[in-house]
Copies of this chain bind each other. A is one copy, B any other.
């Protein structure tokens, strides 16, 4: 029988295909309820292909986390390094963050919600190192936002409060989209932009101190 493999060019692409397929199933059914066979079927292949690139199901999960954090950093870190005031910089970061969340929902949802992460923690030392690595990435990423929030607080443009406790609802307003958002066919690119802007605006108002601006009366 003549078998032709689509040939994903190189190993990285092949793994990326697996990661994408797995993330989509993890997002909908959870990690445990998703079988390797189901992932393979989504790729039009069998288990053999997956186990050729990954030694276990958990390794796929960890690669999803790494992929998600890598992409978030790529989008947000450059903005975080820009020379801008906190009140200007933060919404740009938030916009980039949220845009990626929505556009890359399967992978990002698995990462930000940390689906069933306690599964691996319970396994003890086996994945301790990998888990520490992932947590470090997540902490570093949160830190990008926490620092800007802290700076804004000290400048007096953001409300007072520990950056730790302010960062949580800030992310919450945006990340909660991974729980409620469902893509619609009737939704254009502009619609998505509108939603993103609304959520970012909400999150920013949560931080900004009342500026006492004159009532820009009525429209």
Contacts and interface: CB of A to CB of B under 8 A. Distances in A.
Interface of A: 28-33, 112-116, 118-119, 122, 156, 159-161, 165-166, 168-177, 179-180, 195, 198-199, 202-203, 205-208, 210-215, 218-219
A41 to B, nearest CB: 14
A174 B175 CA distance: 11
A45 B149 CA distance: 50
Contacts of A113: 113, 179
A175 B176 contact: yes
B173 A205 contact: no
Given A30-B30, A165-B199, 4 more contacts: A113-B179, A114-B179, A169-B173, A170-B173
Contacts of A180: 168
B28 A30 contact: no
Contact of A171 (B161, B166, B176): B176
A154 B148 CA distance: 34
Shortest 5 CB-CB contacts between residues of A and residues of B = A172-B176, A169-B173, A32-B32, A32-B33, A30-B116
Nearest to A167: B180
A162 B218 CA distance: 17
A199 B30 contact: no
A168 B172 contact: no
A177 B168 contact: yes
Nearest to A30: B116
B205 A159 contact: yes
Contacts of A206: 173, 202-203, 205-206
A36 B137 CA distance: 35
